[in-house]
Structure formats: C-alpha cells, structure tokens
Amino acid sequence: MKHNYTIGFDAKYANAELNGLGSYSRFIINALAKACSENAYLRMYTPKRLPNREYDKLDSLPNVESMEPDGALWRKLSSLWRLLRISKDAKRGDVELFHGLTSRLPYGLARRDIRSVVTIHNLISLRYPKQSNIFERIIEYIETHSACRRADRIIAASEATKRDIAHLLGVSHEKIDVVYDGCNPIYSEPVEIEAVEEVKRKYNLPERYLLNI
C-alpha cells in the first residue's frame, strides 16, 4: 500500500513499560495508526525489544513497524543509539515527522530535514526540586530544555505543564499546544453489576461517593 506520510516515534517506553509513559505512548501510536491507516506509515524506534504483548499488537498493525539498532555495536550501545543514531535511521526510513513521546528527541533531526514534535508530561523535578536529587534535576533540565529548543512544536499534557515549560525552560507559549492525555479503552468497557456490588462490599462504599485520583 502506498503511504503519503511516514511518522517516527521514540518508542522506548512504549515497549519497556506496561503503565504510565508506556501506556500513553502506545495509546498515541495506536490512535494515529487507526486514524491514518490509509495515508500514513508509522515506525517505532526502540533501543531494545522486550517482551510486551501490547507493543506486539501495535507491531502487528499493517501500517506500523518496530525498528531496533542495526548492527552489533549499536545494539550494545543502545542508549547512545537512541540519542545520536535514530535520526540517521529515520532519514533512511523516509520519516518526515518524528514524535518524542516522553520529553526526549534524538539529535540530528533538523539537519536531516525531519520535522519534530515532543510531548512534555510534567516538570515535577524542576518545579519541586526537593523531591529529587540534583543529578536528576540537571539531567532533566538539559535533556528537556534541548528537546523543547529543537522541536518544531511542543505538546504539553496540561495547562500547568505549559506554564512550567514557558517559565522554567524559557520557551515561548506560542510554540506549545496543550493536548490532554487520552483514556485507554479498557476504562470504558461495561462492568457487570455483580462486579460493581462486590467492590462496593469490599470497600464498604455508600450509594453515592466521589472518587478522586
């Protein structure tokens, strides 16, 4: 099938994590794969392929492909591959847009005429420095600031994160779009009334209550 557009993704967490950033990454890739099934091809770049059934489901889609380091040296230096080599592999794979799903972008994308988007979920270690050590804060600042500076557009997961990006990293508001996280379809599946009653009994819940997460 002829595809009009090829999109690349930093898929480290899509493959390596079951929840959190992994769930978000797979949600985005799956949504785009289905929404653009006729005109886009998606390449997931992961430094190491780990057992993950949900990731395997993405890889089985007709317009999605998982890409890993090519050659023994880059497989051994997979962290450097993610940082320095993906852009070259993406260019070879005809990628026109690259999405850093977890606050990071590989170097060299602009030099190879590949436009880029990066998603920033939060800047907790910078906003609340006492909750992390100084090494974590320095790494997050350098990598996140670099990604935001080099990206063509930035996606913030909330208005608060958008304000933090602008204030803490000195990025223009005009460059940032707020796109709230999606919800996994598993949370919209109907539940049998018996299961609901069992949970109510287990936690001694009243008829009316407010659940805040």
- Mapped onto helix, strand or coil, the DSSP state of residue 186 is helix
Distance CA 32, CA 5 (A): 12
Q: What is the pLDDT of residue 1?
A: 45
Q: At what angle do helices 134-150 and 159-169 cross, to 10 degrees?
A: 100
Q: What is the pLDDT of residue 178?
A: 98
- The pTM assigned to this predicted structure is 0.88
Residues 6+ apart with CB under 8 A from 137: 125, 126, 129
Q: What is the pLDDT of residue 151?
A: 98
By the 10 Å C-beta count (0-12 exposed, 13-18 middle, 19+ buried), 211 is classed as: exposed
Q: What is the pLDDT of residue 3?
A: 62
Q: What is the pLDDT of residues 109-130, one digit of tens each?
A: 999 999 999 999 999 999 998 8
Which CA distances in Å does 104 have to 5, 60, 100? 22, 26, 5
Distance CA 41, CA 63 (A): 5
H, E, C per residue of 5-60: EEEEEECHHHHHCCCCHHHHHHHHHHHHHHHCCCCEEEEEECCCCCCCHHHHHHHC
Low-confidence spans in the chain with pLDDT less than 70 = 1-3
* Residues facing residue 65 across a β-bridge: 43
Q: What is the pLDDT of residue 4?
A: 84
Q: What is the pLDDT of residues 126-165, one digit of tens each?
A: 999 888 899 989 999 999 999 999 999 999 999 999 999 9
